Amino acid sequence: QGRGSRQVADWIVDEAAPVLGLTGIAERTDAAFLDVGVGTGQLAARIAERWPRARVVGVDRMERVLGLARTVIDKAGCADRVELRHGDVTDLADDAIYDLAWLPLSFMSPDAIPKALEAVRRVLRPGGWVIATTFAADSELPIVNAMSDLVTAVNGGSSLTQEDLLVEIRAAGYSESVALPSTPLTGALTAARG
């Protein structure tokens, strides 16, 4: 999953950022990206490579993965710009500094979702965006949906639909939302503006 995240980072830079009007990040020296659930650090490292002046903060509540992330970030040569933090998304206490945040809700339990959305909104710059993932199969075959729900549950997440997420986004105080094209690696993707 970690290695697959590198492609997700490329998709964020090449496909999502232009749609969200975030095209100047590569040149800016004050840009900041938040990676919630930084895991093995592959997504964070690739974002730092693609946006070579941006500051990247990665947070994960699983301490064990942060050691792997450290190795990946060091190897990528971007340790001076990528900060790794141990903690829950709801512990975020930064000022409103982030231009863009990645929030893989498909790996978070249903009760964590409203708090996670709110915590991220508080740390976005005015007009900054969060991109959230949801993963709910919508097959005519019940067994396909059941298998998908099982995989999501094993990943520690919940099978939230994109419609359910839009309700949560409004409740968390975001000003607008946009459905982005989904990718096979991520499921449905929704962007919301803080």
Ligand X SMILES: C[S@@+](CC[C@H](N)C(=O)[O-])C[C@H]1O[C@@H](n2cnc3c(N)ncnc32)[C@H](O)[C@@H]1O
- Nearer to ligand X (CB atom), residue 59 or residue 192: 59
Interaction between residue 1 and ligand X (CB under 6 A): yes
Helix%, strand%, coil% for the chain, nearest 5:
40, 25, 35
Closest residue to ligand X, judged by C-beta, is 37
List binders of ligand X among 16-75 (CB under 6 A).
Answer: 36-37, 39-43, 59-62, 65
Own/partner pairs for 60-66, CB < 8 Å, 24+ apart? Answer: 60/84, 60/85, 60/86, 60/87, 61/86, 61/87, 61/88, 61/89, 65/38, 65/39, 65/40, 66/38
Q: How far is the CB of 109 from ligand X (least distance, A)?
A: 8
Interaction between residue 117 and ligand X (CB under 6 A): no
Contact region for ligand X (CB under 6 A) — 16-24, 92-100, 103-111, 130-138?
103-111
> CB–CB of 119/173 below 8 Å?
no
- Nearer to ligand X (CB atom), residue 31 or residue 34: 34
- Nearer to ligand X (CB atom), residue 41 or residue 142: 41
Give backbone dihedrals phi and psi of 106, rounded to 5 degrees, phi first.
Answer: -65, -10
The token pair at 123 is 């740390």
Count of residues that interact with ligand X, criterion CB under 6 A: 21
What would the x/- binding string for ligand X be over residues 119 to 158, using CB under 6 A?
----------------------------------------
Q: Tell me the C-alpha to C-alpha distance, in Å, between residue 100 and each of 62, 96, 146, 153, 157.
A: 22, 11, 33, 27, 22
Q: How far is the CB of 53 from ligand X (least distance, A)?
A: 21
* Residue with the two structure tokens 């990206």: 33
- Nearer to ligand X (CB atom), residue 104 or residue 194: 104
Binding residues for ligand X (CB under 6 A): 1-2, 5, 36-37, 39-43, 59-62, 65, 88-89, 104, 107-108, 112
